[in-house]
Chains A and B, each alone.
Chain A
Amino acid sequence: MGIKPIAGEESIRVPFLMKMEFEYAVGVYATHFFQELKDHGRLTGVRCPGCRRVYIPPRPVCGICFEPMTEWVPLSDEGVLVGATVIRLPFVDPMTGKQRPVPYGMGIIRLDGAATGIFHFVDETDETKVRVGRRVKANIRTERQGNLQDIINFRLMDGPHE
């Protein structure tokens, strides 16, 4: 069963380009985080009064304890890669509608003092160097806007691992 094409007729496809503009409210917690980053070049997290985990990105409640969090804690600008890769496959960036330039290093970075990791670029495209366990340091801009791009990327700290 199924719907069969009528003999000889080639299927038509209708192209449709959509531009969807959004303006996302980052909220109280992200506003404070990015204000700190912009004004002082400092990274911060929030601490759960129950389990004492420090969260970045910051958020209103610890999902594990379900306790509201209001204690802000400074975080180091250094940490460790807990996930690491180099992106080689090109793809369309939904933020620009264009191909994002590849290759680029990417990682999940757990800053010293934090229980969670953040996504960011890693300043290296050699897969043998961008590895889990490598220590990294945030490369923070001197002129900042108050967004994630105030951190340009993370730089590998030690020499080659292997």
Chain B
Amino acid sequence: MSLGVAIVGAVQTRYETNKVHLAVNELVYEVVAELLRQTGVKMADIYSQVTASQDWFDGKTISSMSVSEVVGGYLKSESKTAADGIQAMFYGAARIASGSFEYTLVAAHCKESEGQRTAVTSTMFDPFCQRQLGLHDHIASALQARRYMEVSGVTEEDLAEISRRRHKDAMKNGKSLRKGGFTLRQILDSPVVAGPLREMTVGPSCDGACAILLASPKQAKAFGDRAVEIAGIGNAADAYWTERELGRSVALEHAAGRAYRMAKIEDPRSEFQVAEISARCAYEEPLYAEALGLASAGKGRKWVETSGNGQGPRINPSGGAITGNPTTVSGLTRVVEAWLQLTGSAGAHQVADARTALVHGVDGICGQAQSVAVLRRGLGER
């Protein structure tokens, strides 16, 4: 089936360590106001909004109350997914595909700077046997990294190489937080977060927001080549982290399968020109690449080499989450970046002739929940 929904505008903030001058509502208003300017659509014509935020990161019960007004929710249908922003896009698309709305405004925000990331992420852990160990998400990720490295043969040098590439690419992305021509040595010598994760192979804590405008086929026509079709969506959640094989992302295999089927993608390696993958930690790139079919199963190590040589889609031309995208926002950042690529508006980090993009988002400990979408330039056949 075809969803028939298009992304007709996409905006992101610059990602910063601490946007101390902006309250959450002001942060989101910035991207909403810019989105309306970019698309020329008036808030009076938008009746549906889906936001994404996490109460624990915001330090506020019903965190969406802080942004309901600035996304135009007064007397309108605003709802919230407590999940990665890409899921808010899925729900927003379903609202349009149901025939109930012509537009949905989707916005995600997170100010990781306001809370203590380790305390906040510790609340994801089992309260009977695990929280007492002082676990937080990077510790769990470190354990997953070890497991994946063991089964795939990926080395610390490979992780440093991924980090080197992404931070270099990020120099061409004006929105990125952490960027530079780092050497492998510098990366390998950066402080240990939790072995084998190092500061430079894990994305930094940061603040940011994104907003996109979804439109029905009827409205999307007026946007010409600024309309990007959501050709396929898929998501799946795995078992809790200590109850599954961490060296393979089975949930992502399912999520990707669903999205590819819907979008009629048969060979991801040749059909995507761009893949924006949510890999906050370097090891997640090859782990997810295997599940996405960009690398053969168990061949993540080889893929680290080949994907850097121009084989298959360009991976994270934005620099990706390792350069600094907050939780909850990251998946929607991938969407914004893909929209920029497919509409030819990515500027200095534009990938030539980008026609089809893969976007991806995660939630939970060690990527328990996985979401994938296939985006295509222009409005497809219906």
Contacts and interface: CB of A to CB of B under 8 A. Distances in A.
A9 interface: no
Name the interface size band of chain A. Answer: 20 to 34
A66 B72 contact: yes
Given A25-B21, A25-B111, A61 B120 contact: no
A109 to B, nearest CB: 20
B71 to A, nearest CB: 9
A63 B72 contact: yes
B114 A22 contact: yes
Nearest to B27: A27
B16 to A, nearest CB: 11
Contacts of A16: 127, 131-132
A66 B115 CA distance: 30
B123 A26 contact: no
Contacts of A133: none
A121 B323 CA distance: 46
Contacts of B23: 24-30
B26 interface: yes
A68 B29 CA distance: 10
Interface string A98-131: 0000000000000000000000000000000000
Interface string B17-56: 0111111111001000100000000111000000000001
Q: Tell me the dominant secondary structure on chain A's binding face.
A: loop
B116 interface: yes
Contacts of A26: 23
B279 to A, nearest CB: 28
Given A25-B111, A29-B23, A64 B74 contact: yes
Interface in A20-74: 20-31, 59-61, 63-64, 66, 68
Contacts of B42: 66
Contacts of A6: none
Given A20-B115, A21-B116, A22-B114, A27 B22 contact: yes
A61 B69 contact: yes
B21 A27 contact: yes
B73 interface: yes
Interface string B86-130: 000000000000000000000000010111100110010001100
Contacts of A22: 59, 114-116
Contact of B26 (A18, A19, A24, A28): A28
Contacts of A18: 119, 123
B74 A63 contact: yes
Nearest to B59: A22
Interface in B334-373: none
A29 B26 contact: yes
Most buried by B among A18, A27, A29: A27
Contacts of A60: 25-26, 29, 70
A28 B56 CA distance: 23
B328 to A, nearest CB: 16
A21 B26 contact: no
Nearest to B25: A59
B69 A59 contact: yes
A92 interface: no
A23 B119 contact: no
A14 interface: yes
Interface in B136-158: none
B59 A66 contact: no
8 contacts: A16-B127, A22-B114, A23-B113, A27-B23, A28-B21, A28-B22, A28-B23, A63-B73
Interface of B: 18-26, 29, 33, 42-44, 56, 59, 69-70, 72-74, 111, 113-116, 119-120, 123, 127-128, 131-132
Interface of A: 14, 16, 18-31, 59-61, 63-64, 66, 68
Lowest 10 A-B CB distances belong to which pairs? A27-B23, A63-B69, A22-B59, A63-B74, A66-B43, A27-B26, A60-B29, A25-B20, A22-B115, A14-B128
